[in-house]
Chains A and B, each alone.
Chain A
Amino acid sequence: MDMNQYLNMFIDESNDHLQSLNEKMLQLESSPTDLGIVQVIFRSAHTLKGMAATMGFEDLASLTHQMENVLDLVRNNKLAMQEFIFDTFFKGLDALESMVQNITEGGDGKADVSSIVASLQSIVRGDFQKSGIDAVTEAVTPKKAADSESAGLVLDQFQYSVLEQSISEGHRVYYIQVTISSESQLKAARAFMVFNTLENSGEIVKAYPSVQDIEQEKFEQNFSLYYITQKEVGELEKEIAGISEIESVSVVQLDQESLKQMSEVKAGLAETAAVQEAPVAVQQQSAASQPQSPTAASGAKPADGKAQVAKPAAPTHNRTIRVDIERLDVLMNLFSELLIDRVRLEQLASEASNPALTETVEHMSRVSSDLQNVVLKLRMVPVDTVFNRFPRMVRDLAKSLDKKLDLVITGADTEMDRTVIDEIGDPLVHLLRNSVDHGIEPVATRIAAGKPETGTVHLRAFHSGNNVFIEIEDDGSGINREKVLKSAISKGIMTEEQAAAMSDEEAHQVLFAPGFSTAEVISDVSGRGVGLDVVKSKITSLGGNVTIHSVLGKGTNFSVQLPLTLSIIAAMMIQIGSEKYAIPLSSIVETAIVKRTQIRSVHGNKMIAFRESHIPLISLSQLFEVPDFNEDEEEETEVVVIRKGDRLAALSVQDFLGQSEIVLKNLGKYLPNIQGISGATILGDGQVALIIDPNVFIK
């Protein structure tokens, strides 16, 4: 059987399933005991496995099979979801996604997923069915391997006090070093077994390398940990050494004094290492905010980096079909052809004055305008198609920055034109990253400022008039005007005088200046050399606008205004000589007629009085060098008053032809940027009229 014809269907459906798996996993993470969600995830994974197996993508099928095994235990109440399982699953989903991506690009979907499969298998075997692991994973910030092992095992204040307290309460605290045999094929699995054994009878407070790194086999042969238990040294040594492929184990019991010494020595060592490791401070803060007893910590649900979607208004299971966007474009083009003929028919019918013909043509006109509406609506897509990847992104981002935050999405069903949707994803990712990285403060800072330790980022979409607004609002630190301006001055973006004269609003806009960044430390997230200026220019190129509203200490709101659709706009048609132009209604304030005598000359520029002020008058016929019109011969001039922000200007034209909805077309790749022209549209008679871009005329 030739599978190629099913390939596209497979890719589409796989992406759907992966998206839904991601969403459901996030939901499950915030309510881990909801078996209903597990059922949905199980079914999705099962379908995916079946499809992949049918199509012959073995790696995909076997990975989903392993995931399914875990899910099966969970839904039958034999296994409780916990952070380690979530992390493994998300890793699995990422791997699946890249495999499907590979298939999309014509690959065979093969990938090395053995480590994930090993983790999944260990979950099924129950090697990790221990809640104690949570404490470790939470307390350890993911970070790169430090220069020396001892430096990596530095204790933060919280961990230190836990150990100290345990000793004073009569528990035994050990520093354990384990070396795994160099011949071991499954280092990570052996390490798991050690952890597992230890957790049966105590608490691991800190491990080096971090648990994540150990899971991914990112360690040589050794790892070390601090451990609290009641057991004797000898007993422990025997237990660990009893695990196969363990080469050596050393267990050192610590008392108050030796603990203090160790942590001091190591803190000293770590200080040098910490220079390259910015997150150390963050790590302490996050740990300090955690429950003060290790047992309580282990029971706490993983709150850091939790991203929540406000319960979507009952997922709409639309009965839909997939249509290639190009086919819709062809349909639109054919339709505009039809409209041209309709106009022609109407004209002929009125000339022929045959009642039966006139009636038929009128009916056809009505049907075709209904048809037009339908065709245009086909291009509208809910903004959800962009938003749905954000919860997962924010979760991972918050985890890597060690911050706590909720992402609340509202208005995901807001519809926009497909062309806008396709373009808006990247700018939004950028703004969200900005909010998470710069906006939301680390937990300790938030507590110090009297805020809830979990930050909130709202992502909202809503319609307003002919626009769609997308807002990203955080309750973080807000924009520090002085810091922004100082940074802008030092980067040569402005002078001190300019900075001093700026309103807060203007100062916030500086964030969009090219080359601007306030990030003092270049983190993993920011400082990639792509600034908000790219966001701004992208949104502007879509005919939209982005504004910032921020209150220092309270938070920041980025508001993105976008046109509902890029393909249809309301416009005023005007005529100059034999040429017709369209001016977008959105930028027109009003139209007027002025006498030539009312036009004044100020410093060589023409001005007219408008309301209480004088505004510049720009002659379109001169600007566009229209060959067959000279307005100087007219007594009265029609003008269109246009607006950009709060500034106005008037364009003089010959005649107004009236308002109409026009289908926007670009001028083609050969003529991408003509000054003053933003595109073209096709008129009823089949001719092309150019669309004027009024923004250019107001500097």
Chain B
Amino acid sequence: MGEEIKVIVFKLGEEEYGVEVEKVQSIERMVPITRVPRTYDFVKGVFNMRGVVIPVIDLRGRFGLSEAEYTDQTRIIIVAVGEMQVGFIVDSANDVIDLNTDNIETPPEVVGGVKAKYLRGVAKIGEERLLIMLNLSEVLNRSEMNQLEGLED
């Protein structure tokens, strides 16, 4: 029997994604973001969250999906993995659900264009709803990006 976890649900397009609630520090409305030059396109910049400067990345861009206009529904989900704090821009975030880890299945090869390694698995909720669980440490993995960009020496 798996354990019960609480999951924050957010949307990118029509897909629903989930992250464990303990990894999420807060959910913010869109704020002015300061552009950081000479970095990846999906890094939208940095913003001030109560005195701490936090980088913001567009999760659509990170997954190679087409970027969308920001609306009233757009949210920044602040996640913390290890010492890394990052804000994810998502289309909307408005649900918290309980999930049994037994219900998480290994991800299929391709889900909506997102590389499988960013995903921890897919959870089935009820009859129709599919929730894509993110593998945060892979999403925030920098080593792969450093190879791409060669920004560092």
Decide: B83 and A669 in contact? CB cutoff 8 A.
yes
Decide: A687 and B32 in contact? CB cutoff 8 A.
yes
Complex: A332 Cα to B52 Cα, angstroms: 10
Complex: A677 Cα to B43 Cα, angstroms: 15
Chain A, Cβ-Cβ closest to B34: A688
The contact string, 1 if C-beta is below 8 Å from chain B, for chain A 532-545, is 00000000000000
Decide: B34 and A689 in contact? CB cutoff 8 A.
yes
Decide: B37 and A624 in contact? CB cutoff 8 A.
yes
**Shortest Cβ gap from A329 to chain B (Å):** 9
Most chain B beta carbons < 10 A, residue from A335, A669, A672, A673 = A669
**Shortest Cβ gap from A573 to chain B (Å):** 13
Assess whether A686 is interfacial by the CB under 8 Å rule. Answer: yes
Decide: A665 and B37 in contact? CB cutoff 8 A.
no
The contact string, 1 if C-beta is below 8 Å from chain B, for chain A 614-656, is 0000000001111000000000000000000000000000000
Decide: A667 and B53 in contact? CB cutoff 8 A.
yes
Assess whether A314 is interfacial by the CB under 8 Å rule. Answer: no
Which B residues touch A677, using CB under 8 A? 36-38
Decide: A334 and B51 in contact? CB cutoff 8 A.
yes
* Contact residue among A333, A623, A626, A671 (Cβ-Cβ distance under 8 Å from B39): A671
Chain B, Cβ-Cβ closest to A676: B38
Which residues 10-62 of B have a CB within 8 angstroms of A?
32, 34-39, 43, 45-48, 50-55, 57
Instruction: Count how many chain B residues have C-beta atoms less than 8 Å from C-beta atoms of the other chain.
Output: 28
Which A residues touch B48, using CB under 8 A? 682, 686-688
Most chain A beta carbons < 10 A, residue from B43, B55, B85 = B55
Decide: B51 and A333 in contact? CB cutoff 8 A.
yes
Which A residues touch B53, using CB under 8 A? 665-668, 680, 682, 688
Chain B, Cβ-Cβ closest to A666: B53
Chain A, Cβ-Cβ closest to B153: A673
The contact string, 1 if C-beta is below 8 Å from chain B, for chain A 572-611, is 0000000100000000000000000000000000000000
Which residues 61-84 of B have a CB within 8 angstroms of A?
82-84
Q: How many residue pairs bridge A and B at CB < 8 Å?
A: 84
Chain B, Cβ-Cβ closest to A338: B51
Instruction: Count how many chain A residues have C-beta atoms less than 8 Å from C-beta atoms of the other chain.
Output: 31
**Shortest Cβ gap from B152 to chain A (Å):** 5
Which A residues touch B34, using CB under 8 A? 579, 680, 687-690
Decide: A675 and B46 in contact? CB cutoff 8 A.
no
**Shortest Cβ gap from B42 to chain A (Å):** 12
Which A residues touch B52, using CB under 8 A? 333, 665
Assess whether A674 is interfacial by the CB under 8 Å rule. Answer: yes
Assess whether A69 is interfacial by the CB under 8 Å rule. Answer: no
Decide: B37 and A674 in contact? CB cutoff 8 A.
yes
Complex: A689 Cα to B54 Cα, angstroms: 12
Most chain B beta carbons < 10 A, residue from A337, A626, A688, A689 = A688
Complex: A666 Cα to B52 Cα, angstroms: 9
Which A residues touch B140, using CB under 8 A? 670
Decide: A668 and B151 in contact? CB cutoff 8 A.
no
* Contact residue among B35, B46, B82, B83 (Cβ-Cβ distance under 8 Å from A671): B46
Decide: A668 and B55 in contact? CB cutoff 8 A.
yes
* Contact residue among A624, A671, A689 (Cβ-Cβ distance under 8 Å from B55): A671
Which B residues touch A672, using CB under 8 A? 152
- A sample of 13 cross-chain residue pairs with beta-carbon separation below 8 angstroms, ordered by A number, consists of A333-B50, A579-B35, A625-B37, A626-B37, A667-B46, A670-B57, A670-B86, A671-B55, A680-B46, A687-B48, A688-B45, A689-B34, A690-B34
Extra pairs beyond A668-B84, A671-B46 (11, CB < 8 Å): A333-B50, A333-B52, A337-B50, A579-B34, A625-B38, A669-B83, A670-B142, A671-B55, A673-B151, A677-B38, A687-B48
